[in-house]
Amino acid sequence: MAVEPLSQKDVEERLQELPGWTTDGERISRTYRFDGHFQAAAMVIHLAQIQEELGHHSDATLGYNTVSLSVNTHSAGGKVTGLDVELARRIEAVAPGHGAR
């Protein structure tokens, strides 16, 4: 089943429930900060588990104490869909347990 892109207005509305997440119209993004590198790396492993479960994957960059995420849906022409928002929600649910801020 084709996944339809969300309108910019829909994306912005949904992001109101995901503080820290932003959109440039082509993707949704957030950078998390951690107490150190190991904590950030552990978050990436947890992220990989969630992404494999959902079959939906962000572009993730591991820094010293940061993890920067960006996601859109390739099959929707590289636009933002509900799948991206769902992934962001799942990540938000586990991030505090890793000390993310």
Ligand X SMILES: C[C@H](O)[C@H](O)[C@H]1CNC2=NC(N)=NC(=O)C2=N1
Residue 56 binds ligand X, judged by CB under 6 A: yes
Nearest in space to 54 (alpha carbons), one of 77, 35, 34, 81: 81
Q: How far is the CB of 80 from ligand X (least distance, A)?
A: 10
Stretch near ligand X under the rule CB under 6 A, chosen from 13-21, 30-38, 72-80, 90-98? 72-80
Select 3 or 65, whichever has its Cβ closest to ligand X: 3
Within 10 angstroms of residue 38's Cβ, the number of other Cβ atoms is 10
Within 10 angstroms of residue 15's Cβ, the number of other Cβ atoms is 18
What are 73's strand-pairing partners?
79
Q: How far is the CB of 79 from ligand X (least distance, A)?
A: 10
Contacting residues toward ligand X, per CB under 6 A: 55-57, 71, 73-75
